[in-house]
Structure 1
């Protein structure tokens, strides 16, 4: 499958089967994440795999949705605030951008392996920082990963026309 086909196939999956994600699939996905580019190659990130029932239960306190609880595993994507590259002209830190690039590698790699994902950023940050306390790292997103349930809702993929988003000068 090429990148266009992967991009067309990937959607925000919000219902998963109980089938576990294989170690081979997880290893493949994490290797794709590891190879993601970052500003000045700082790689200001950490990816926490949440698979145990105890850890999943704690994580669901930060984002308590029925569909979310159906995922067999989660990856909490974290940025290292002390290692982010900052643009010198306006002091813009690029940690969120770097982690977002790695997350999209994660989502497309999971899609390639026949798995579903969904970006979750609307979690309780206070609870999340209690679950994963750190002076250096901050959670950017939670990505549930799993085999997509047959009755998983799929919203129509609506995108702006190319003329609306591309400009030549």
Structure 2
């Protein structure tokens, strides 16, 4: 499948089957995150894989969502803020950009592996920090829910024909 086809196949899944992810599929997803580009190759990502019932309850607590979308695996994507590239012009530290790229790579590999995913930003970072004993220099940036999608949760790839703005509204050449 080409990249555009893969991108159209991917959709946000909020309902998963009661089926664990095979270790080799999880490894492929984590490897995709390892391959993701980061600012000046600092690789600040610190990925915490949660699969136990106890861990998933903690994730649900942090999301203020009783079932955490029923995902059987959640990756908490953290950044080591002491190991992030900083833009010299204005001192901007780019951990959110780096972790967004890493999470995107993992999300796309999950789709390639036949899994559903959901990128979650709605969580309480202090609960994550406390429940998972994050070191002080680790900032939780996002969570990636993973699992086998319930069939009714999967959306049609054709949805992009109507759900996305045309390029003429979002792309400009040389000047706005």
Relative to total residues, which structure has the larger helix share, 1 or 2?
A: 2
Matched residue count: 169
TM-score (norm 2): 0.91
- Please tell me whether the aligned partners of residues 60 and 67 of structure 2 are also in contact (alpha carbons under 8 angstroms): no
Residue 71 (structure 1) aligned with residue 71 (structure 2): yes
- Partner Cα separation in structure 2 for residue 7 and residue 120 of structure 1: 18
Q: CA deviation at 1:125?
A: 1.8
Q: Which moved more, 1:133-142 or 1:61-70?
A: 61-70
Contact in 2 for aligned 1:107/1:117 (Cα 8 Å): yes
Q: Distance in 2 between matches of 1:168 and 1:150?
A: 41
Looking at structure 2, the residues matched to 41 and 25 of structure 1 have their Cα atoms a distance apart, in angstroms, of 25
RMSD between aligned residues: 1.5
Is contact 1:15-1:68 (8 Å) kept?
Answer: no
Residue of structure 2 aligned with 1:165, choices 167, 170, 175: 170
- The aligned counterpart of 1:109 is 109
Partners of 1:112 and 1:86 in 2: CA distance: 33
CA distance in structure 2 between the aligned counterparts of 1:67 and 1:4, rounded to whole angstroms: 32
Segments of 4+ moved more than 3 angstroms:
153-157
Query: Is the counterpart of residue 57 in structure 1 residue 62 in structure 2?
Result: no
Distance 1:7 1:151 in 2: 19
Gaps of 5+ in 1: none
- Aligned pairs (5 A) from 1:1-169: 1-65=1-65, 68-132=68-132, 133-152=134-153, 154=155, 156-157=159-160, 158-169=163-174
Instruction: Answer whether contact 1:9 1:111 (CA < 8 A) is retained.
Output: yes
Alignment check: 8 A CA contact 1:14 1:67 kept: no
CA distance in 1, matches of 2:68, 2:150: 13
